[in-house]
Amino acid sequence: MKTKTVKTRRLSPQRKEVIKSSKDSLEETFEDLLKDIYWAEKHLTKALPRMSKASFNEDLKAAFDSHLEVTEHQVKRLEQCFQLLDKKAVGKKCMGMEGLVKEGEEVISDLNEGHARDAGLIAAAQKIEHYEISAYGTLRTMAKVLGKAQCAQLLEETKDEEAEADQLLNDLSERINKMASEMQEEEVE
């Protein structure tokens, strides 16, 4: 039986430096994105009570109130990640979340209380959930690649919670959109 010889390449000192700096860059990118989502979650803790107060449907109010509690736990989880990195938990303004929250505020100011406003609030909230699912998925993958298993686990847990919140909003949307549609039909008659 013939054995196959595998040649290994030796890396030049310059190549080793490029590899080292790209890992440093990934680490910096990871930390920057962690600061971004930390700010986003803290900003969301201020927006969720306004969304709850503006909701007409009691189940939607309850969903926003419940998600506020979940979001507060997610903030603590992010603080654990910072602690694992030996970094201070500091936020960096997240332009994406700021814009998404403004969209929700526009729904509140542009629509009268009722099922149609609730449908708009759900749409705004789902945009937020999708943004968060994406952010946490990206951060989780980066944490795994960087060998930060504990951080990756915390981020995965939060990503899963965001997906659950999105599913709840889907379920509420089916009922609330139907009620909004029925109300519109009654107004036309």
Distance of CA 60 to the CA centre of its chain: 19
What residues have CB less than 8 Å from 128, skipping those under 6 apart? 44, 97, 100, 101, 104
Q: pLDDT value at position 182?
A: 85
Domain boundaries, the chain: 27-188
CATH superfamily for domain 27-188? Ferritin, core subunit, four-helix bundle (1.20.1260.10)
pLDDT tens digits along 101-159: 999 999 999 999 999 999 999 999 999 999 999 999 999 999 999 999 999 999 999 99
Q: How confident is the model at residue 5 (pLDDT cuts 50, 70, 90)?
A: low
Q: How confident is the model at residue 183 (pLDDT cuts 50, 70, 90)?
A: confident
CB atoms within 10 A of CB 50: 15
- Global pTM? 0.84
pLDDT tens digits along 86-102: 999 999 999 999 999 99
Tokens of 37: 């989502």
CB atoms within 10 A of CB 112: 7
Q: How confident is the model at residue 188 (pLDDT cuts 50, 70, 90)?
A: very low
H/E segment holding residue 174: helix 149-188
